[in-house]
């Protein structure tokens, strides 16, 4: 018997560790799938993610039951629960897929020791990424800190094919498992999320992938920055929880690439179908880039990556905290920023371009520490992932690897005008502005107070002046760098 411990890989298909657990034995019904609710991990949870996780687990259990097996669920410290379960099922090994964050690695080290003490073997596989941290390095063998170089190697390296789900006969029989019910969200100490979280599970993830590959993937390059267009895959929460495997997603891009090449027909469009499929792959590579950044530098979860930025004097007085509250509530008086912050609360998701805009606004217009923003995202995003969230925040704050240079500061009004010209996205999330013309929405900061009251009496005035704050931000960074 072998236990397979599910963590951030809530699926049966294209699961390297699960396939390895099955392959390692010729015995029938030899693999026992397990999920452990770990209070240390739950302490970092938030309602949207716990909702998604529980729904994904319900589907995972249903998948096992269809195969005549079942998912064993337990609650507690995995370093205690897993040796006990190994004993209960007379299992001689536990198999799992690697997780690369600092917290997970510490927990896994404890689990390894506990299993060693209990005389139970353990094996791990790399599953969550195509190329595990430490395998794409500079010529000196160091992890990459610049994406472009990482991407070139990532792109050119061969990718594995997806794996099939194991056959029912390889999995423990359902009647050998207690079949305890899954806890409710309240049992885990969380409230139902206020946001409308997207459907969880492999089936929903496959539907999203198929829908994206039908059309949007071929115009991704030109459309992905426009939040009002349905132009991105919406797979981030699936990839975070592993309800779909990375090999399955990549295989879909191979089919799309073949189609795209036929469509391109020798054309040389920069943002045509071939470039679009390639651009989508590069986003998948960003995910793996940040995974290896966090793996190589676990401290970036809480610290600036760049040493010389460590002395930034972020604002922290009472007025700054009031501005933070206005930002979290979507009441800054900068329409594109507020629309994004409201999308986050309503959908536990925000479009990537808008994430960049709101993060730039927090750090460069309000001069607030990125960690405030990161914490807020952690509370509200269903796709929150330490590596990507941290990477995104430190990029916007100019404190991270391959970050936005500190002197390139987004103007929130021109960003709104460029990427939401008809103010369609803005009016979807800010009903107060729905009847205001796009011209007036995009020049909200320039209108007189009287005109603003007339147009949208309930929508706030800008809480800061962008030009003034831009100058302050430049000085703040120059001081931290010892240049002023
Ligand atoms: P698509 O455009 O369809 O991209 C496909 C996949 O590639 C995504 O699902 C994701 O897994 C990956 N990806 C895309 N862009 C990035 C990126 N810039 N960095 C890393 N991976 C990327 N992404 C998260 O998955 N979790 C987070 O917690 C997160 N926090 C972010 C915070 C900030 C401040 C910023 C600027 C970006 C953040 N991102 C995060 C990256 C990106 O915004 C989301 O991955 C993307 O918006 C998800 O939508 P999608 O699945 O439709 O993306």
Q: Give pLDDT, residue 366.
A: 98
Q: Give pLDDT, residue 440.
A: 98
3: β partners: 32, 94
Rounded to the nearest angstrom, the distance between the alpha carbon of 154 and the centre of ligand 1 is 18
| Mutational test site, ligand 1, from 388, 397, 398, max ligand atoms within 8 Å of CB | 388
Per-residue DSSP letters for 220-266? HHHHTT-TTS--S---HHHHHHTSS-HHHHHHHHHHHHHHHHHHHTT
Rounded to the nearest angstrom, the distance between the alpha carbon of 287 and the centre of ligand 1 is 7
Rounded to the nearest angstrom, the distance between the alpha carbon of 282 and the centre of ligand 1 is 11
| Residues whose beta carbon lies within 6 Å of some atom of ligand 1 | 224, 232-236, 239-240, 283-284, 286-287, 290, 352, 355-356, 359, 377, 381, 383-385, 388-389, 391-393, 396
CA distance 276 to 105: 35
Ligand 1 nearest atom to the CA of residue 383, by list position: 26
| Binding site feature residues for FAD | 220, 232-236, 280, 283-290, 383-385
Ligand 1 nearest atom to the CA of residue 220, by list position: 2
What the chain holds in terms of domains, given with CATH numbers, is: 2-128 (3.40.50.620), 202-296 (1.25.40.80), 307-480 (1.10.579.10)
Nearest-5° angle of CA 83, CA 89, CA 92?
A: 65
Q: Give pLDDT, residue 266.
A: 61
Regions of the chain where pLDDT drops below 50: none
Residues 204-254 have pLDDT tens digits of 999 999 999 999 999 999 999 999 998 999 999 999 999 999 999 999 999
Q: In what order do the strands lie in the sheet with 93-97?
A: 72-75, 31-37, 2-6, 93-97, 121-125
Rounded to the nearest angstrom, the distance between the alpha carbon of 100 and the centre of ligand 1 is 17
Q: Whose CA is nearest to atom 37 of ligand 1?
A: 392
Strands (E), 38-159: 72-75, 93-97, 121-125
Q: Whose CA is nearest to atom 44 of ligand 1?
A: 352
Q: Whose CA is nearest to atom 15 of ligand 1?
A: 283
Q: Is the ipTM of this complex over 0.95?
A: yes
Q: Give pLDDT, residue 265.
A: 65
């Amino acid at each position: 018997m072998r236990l397979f411990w599910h963590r951030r890989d809530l699926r049966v298909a294209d699961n390297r560790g699960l396939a390895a657990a099955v392959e390692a034995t010729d015995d029938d019904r030899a693999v026992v799938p397990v999920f452990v609710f770990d209070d240390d991990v739950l302490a970092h949870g938030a309602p949207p993610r716990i909702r998604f996780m529980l729904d994904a687990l319900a589907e995972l259990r249903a998948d096992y039951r269809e195969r005549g097996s079942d998912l064993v669920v337990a609650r507690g410290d995995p370093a205690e629960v897993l040796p006990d379960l190994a004993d209960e099922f007379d299992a001689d090994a536990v198999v799992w897929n690697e997780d690369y964050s600092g917290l997970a690695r510490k927990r896994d080290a404890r689990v390894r020791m506990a299993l060693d003490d209990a005389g139970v073997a353990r094996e791990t596989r790399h599953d969550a990424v195509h190329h595990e941290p430490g395998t794409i390095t500079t010529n000196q063998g160091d992890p990459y800190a610049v994406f472009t170089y990482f991407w070139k190697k990532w792109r050119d390296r061969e990718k594995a094919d997806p794996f099939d789900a194991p056959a029912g006969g390889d999995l423990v029989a359902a009647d050998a498992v207690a079949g305890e019910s899954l806890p409710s969200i309240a049992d885990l100490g969380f409230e139902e999320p206020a946001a409308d979280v997207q459907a969880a599970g492999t089936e929903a993830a496959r539907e999203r992938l198929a829908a994206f590959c039908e059309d949007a993937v071929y115009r991704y390059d030109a459309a992905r920055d426009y939040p009002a267009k349905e132009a991105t895959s919406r797979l981030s929460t699936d990839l975070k929880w592993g309800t779909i495997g990375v090999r399955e997603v990549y295989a879909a891009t191979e089919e799309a690439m073949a189609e795209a090449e036929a469509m391109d027909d020798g054309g040389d469009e920069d943002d045509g179908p071939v470039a679009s499929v390639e651009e989508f792959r590069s986003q998948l590579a960003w995910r793996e880039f940040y995974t290896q950044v966090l793996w190589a530098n676990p401290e970036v979860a809480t610290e600036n990556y760049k040493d010389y930025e460590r002395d930034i004097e972020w604002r922290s007085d009472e007025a700054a905290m009031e501005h933070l509250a206005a930002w979290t509530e979507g009441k800054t008086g900068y329409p594109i920023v507020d629309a994004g912050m409201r999308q986050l609360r309503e959908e536990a998701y925000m479009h990537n371009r808008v994430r960049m805009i709101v993060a730039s606004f927090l750090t460069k217009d309000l001069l607030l520490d990125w960690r405030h923003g990161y914490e807020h995202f952690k509370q509200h995003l269903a796709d929150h992932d330490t590596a990507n969230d941290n990477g995104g925040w430190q990029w916007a704050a100019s404190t991270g690897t391959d970050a936005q240079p500190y002197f390139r500061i987004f103007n929130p009004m021109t960003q709104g005008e460029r990427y939401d010209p008809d103010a369609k996205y803005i009016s979807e999330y800010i009903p107060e502005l729905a009847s205001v013309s796009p011209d007036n929405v995009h020049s909200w900061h320039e209108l007189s107070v009287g005109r603003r009251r007339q147009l949208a009496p309930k929508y706030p005035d800008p809480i800061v002046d962008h030009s003034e704050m831009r100058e302050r931000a430049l000085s703040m960074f120059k001081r931290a760098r010892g240049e002023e």
